[in-house]
Each structure stands twice: as structure tokens, then as C-alpha cells.
Amino acid sequence: MTETVGFIGLGSMGLPMARRLLDAGYALRVYNRTPGKAVELLERGAREMKTPAETVEPGGIVITMLANDAALETVTLGEHGMAAVLGADGIHLSMSTVSPHLARRLAEAHRAHGSHYLAAPVLGRPTAAAAGKLFILLSGMAAAKHRVSPLLEAMGQGTHDLGEDPAQGHIAKLAANFMILASIETYAETLTFAEKNGIGRMEMMKLLTGTILNAPLFHLYGELLAKEEYTAPGFKLALGLKDIELILETGANSRMPLPAADLVHNRLLTALAKGRGKLDMTALALGVSEDAGLRRE
């Protein structure tokens, strides 16, 4: 590969994704708000830039993998943002979990400069990113999709095309995250119900995953919930709260009541109020155990 790609956001997901691109032979210009995250990449030939704008080559491709709407808007449209530099035929590959509203606004801003916004949020935790096993939810202009397909193949095991509306990829990601978060709540209640009535959490988890819940999602989260291992976050609880708030906002905008999302939102709010924001999002299960009188601070 000879094309240079910009990569903005080197957190727990962005860093292993950038590694995959280096492995595939791409040259990278990288930017991260917190200095020092790029050291490993620099040792492998990546170049660290001082601003988001400097990551971009006119007409090139830039990837963003950031925590929230505010961060994405800043690096795109803020002072030293990259939208104006990207220019004609450039592509912004937006892989963060952000609001559909912001996606449409950024797509319009890019169109004004002759460039393209592609939604490409991912399903998978950091271990999947490191192994190139992400699932990618893609939407936007067809010609731009074709151009980025080799990059997506380097980072993921499968891409789901959701049409040309740049918001659809982000809507699909929110829907999938809603399923995950609601499943964690249900799973936590199920294991706690079993524990409260004399069946061990691990025993119940193995029963479930060996019968009615024999799927990767339930094996992964079931083990974390059964072992109550929440201190090594693959996905921080604070980010889970951000996502459920985007889900509720999108539901309200489409006149869609989401009572299960309200429940999970309250669970996550309580966990954050108790200082658990840096734990894994499965730590919402601590609240379930506390309600049942099974856990003490």
C-alpha cells in the first residue's frame, strides 16, 4: 500500500485499529488529544501530527475513532479541524458511536467542501479490534465505500452495507448497543436470581450458554458477569451511559418509547454516581446484586 491515511483517536479501540492498518502496509498520520498514545505507532513508521488538520492529505482518507459527539465535532469542524483541509474527493471514515443528527450535519459540512462522510461504526471490543475481527456498519456514498473497502478489510471480519444515508450506520450501531446493554441487564438479573436462590453464578451461566443462549455475545458477557470481573474495562461504563443517552435521544426524535432503555439508563446513572464510570460497562450488574442484598461496598 502506498496511500497515506489519517487516523484521529488512539484510545482502547483506535490504537489496535491503527495497528491493523500498519500491518496492512498503510502509511499513517496520527493525532490524539492525549500525548504519548502514539509511541508504539511512531516506532513502526507512523507520523504524529499536532492538529487534526495536519493528519489530512487533500483528497485523502481520514479515520476518526473518538469517544463522543463533542470530540468528533471538534476535530472535524473546530479550530484546526480537518473538514476544510480534506477537500474535493476526500473521505472522512467515521468509526465512532455518535448521534445520527451529528452524522447528518457533518455529512452536509463535508459536501460543502466536495468531500464525503462515511459512517462506519464497529461492533467488537478491543480484543476483536486487535485481531481484525470487528464487524463494521457502513453507510454513505457508494463510490466512497468502494475506495475504503481495503481499509475495512484490514480492520474487520465483515462489513454490513446500510445504504447511502450517512446516519444509518450510526443508527444500526445504537440499535446493536441497545441490544447488548439490555441483554447485560437481563443477564445480570438472571444470574443474581439464581445466586439468590442457591445456584452459583458460574453454574447458571454455563447452563445458559450450553442451551438457550449459545451465542458469542452471551459467552463473552456471561463469563464477565458470572466471575464479576469488572475492573479491566473493554468498554467503560461511562461510555455505555453515553450510548444509552444517544439511544434514548434517537428514540424520542422518532417517537419511539424505550422502557427497557430507561431502566438501563437509570442503572448506569446510579453506577456512575457511585464512582464506577471507569469500570467495564458490565459493572451495571453490581447494582442488581446490591438491590438483591448480595453485595456490600
With cell 419511539, the residue in question is 256
* Burial tier of 261 (Cβ tally within 10 Å: 0-12, 13-18, 19+): buried
- Residue 223 is inside which H or E element, if any? helix 216-227
**β partners of residue 136:** 122, 159
d(Cα 91, Cα 286) in Å, to the nearest integer? 42
Q: What is the DSSP string of 5-45?
A: EEEE--STTHHHHHHHHHHTT-EEEEE-SSTTTTHHHHHTT
Q: How many CB atoms lie within 10 A of CB 252?
A: 11
Q: Is 173 a catalytic residue?
A: yes
Q: What is the DSSP string of 90-107?
A: -EEEE-S---HHHHHHHH
37, 133, 145, 173: which one is catalytic?
A: 173
Instruction: Select from 10, 75, 92 the least CA-distant residue to 44.
Output: 10
Q: What is the DSSP string of 35-72?
A: TTTTHHHHHTT-EE-SSSGGGPPTT-EEEE--SSHHHH
Catalytically annotated residues? 173
